[in-house]
Amino acid sequence: MVEVKLHDIGEGMTEAEINFLFVKPGDTVKEDEALAEVQTDKMTAEIPAPSAGVVKELLVQQGQTVKVGSTLFILETAALPDAKKQQPVAAAPKLSKRILAAPYTRKIAREQGVSIEDVTGSGPGGRITDEDVIRHAKLKAHPHKEEANLTFDSHTSDRPQAIPAKSIPFRGRRKQIAKKMVQSIYTIPHCTHFEEIDVTELIKFREELKTTRQYISATSFFIKALSLALKDFPIFNAVLNEETEMIDIKTDHHIGLAIDAEDGLIVPVIRDVKNKTIRTIHDEVKELTEKALKNELKISEITGGSFTVSNVGPLGGSLGATPIIQHPEVALVSFHKTKKMPVVIGDDEIAIRSIMNISMSFDHRVADGATAVRFTNRLAELIENPKMLVLEMV
């Protein structure tokens, strides 16, 4: 017998929530096959089978929060017969199949009488979406209709309707995000500073780069500018150690980038930004964003951040916010909507410029408002003069 325990898969991890169980007692599993999906305060991870065997006991339930070191399964490895001696017997238990689907999607499947195992997922990594379930339910109800004719707009009278939910499950990544936000807001006295930055020249510079077939995201410029500003104001690249009563200033700039993923916000980290070019930062942002959307980030890619940035501008409609700091970091900058407006420049001349709003939340125990203003002034100077930003990298 082998006890499968919840081991520490992240920095400072003490517990995790059981998102989904892929197996049940009696199932035969292969070595390294996923037994369960768990959610920590930082990421979603799978618990693999340490060896081939048969699931003898299941000691946890879906939705349960368990401590590190707790036993999740009892695996009977001796129950597997030697393949050379095996005689014809009744069909072996079906190997469990990993199904990628959110809890609410599974709820819709149950309401529609659909076996989630029979649905083909169209989402990232084969993840099953709500529409995949509804499409499967409709095909099941009308097996002679062509799938191409199955539409899902509000005018389709025979569409299988999900029962409107009066509440949704508060668990998984959403619950873990909530815990972190509560910890942060109750621990850190937040102060938020707002600023406007003229990004007209940055937009022009990016267009110039495009003519040479070089595409660099605005986020990559922002991240590099933040690193250069942190070089001048290192107090915002720090951690307050309340036990030792010391402010530990970090020498490396590991910038976390908030990503709006399907299961909730996740923050991959671009490491050692101060020693990287904007092109390298762009490539890493692209790679980490793709991994985040596919839920493929490693624990090493979402831990160890020293400062966080959120770029919500591309979503539109956001003029400002009061972002919550990633505890135990000291600050966070959020980039918001850019819009064209008349601005007075030069000798009282009026020109149409592209103006972006930013919000900077900082730990008022560690820094004062005047320091935050100087920091955002430096950040604005670098972003508003992107060619100078390039020179600063030399």
Catalytic residue check, 282: no
The percentage of residues in the chain with a pLDDT greater than 90, rounded to a whole number, is: 44
Question: Do 100 and 31 share a structural domain?
Answer: yes
Question: Do 203 and 94 share a structural domain?
Answer: no
- State residue 125's pLDDT score: 62
Q: For residue 17, is it within any domain? A: yes
Cβ proximity of 221 and 278 under 8 Å:
yes
Domain count, the chain: 2
186 vs 376: CA distance, rounded Å: 25
Q: For residue 167, is it within any domain? A: no
Amino acid (one-letter) located at 240: L
- To the nearest whole number, what is the mean pLDDT of the chain? 83
325 vs 236: CA distance, rounded Å: 11
pLDDT 10s digits, 24-76: 899 998 888 888 888 776 667 788 888 899 999 999 988 888 888 899 999 98
Q: Which of 247, 242, 179 is nearest to 14 (CA)?
A: 179
pLDDT 10s digits, 123-156: 766 778 888 888 888 887 766 555 444 444 444 4
Question: Do 217 and 93 share a structural domain?
Answer: no
Q: For residue 157, is it within any domain? A: no
Q: How many CA atoms lie within 13 A of 177 on its CB side?
A: 16
CATH number at residue 224: 3.30.559.10
Q: For residue 163, is it within any domain? A: no
- State residue 319's pLDDT score: 79
- State residue 92's pLDDT score: 32
Of 132, 149, 166, the one marking the end of a domain is: 149
Question: Do 212 and 359 share a structural domain?
Answer: yes
| DSSP code for 188 | S
Pick from 11-20, 49-58, 352-361, 368-377: least confident = 11-20
- State residue 116's pLDDT score: 79
Cβ proximity of 198 and 384 under 8 Å:
yes
Kindly state the tokens that stand for 23: 């197996």
Question: Do 383 and 308 share a structural domain?
Answer: yes
Question: Do 10 and 123 share a structural domain?
Answer: yes
Cβ proximity of 309 and 226 under 8 Å:
yes
Select which of 155, 193, 327, 364 is catalytic.
364
Question: Do 345 and 208 share a structural domain?
Answer: yes
Q: Which range of residues forms the domain containing residue 320?
A: 188-392
> Is residue 327 pLDDT above 80, yes or no?
yes
Pick from 117-131, 320-334, 378-392: least confident = 117-131
pTM: 0.67
| DSSP code for 95 | P
CA 153 from chain centre, in angstroms, equals 30
What lies within 8 Å, CB to CB, of 31 at 6+ separation is 48, 49, 50, 51, 52
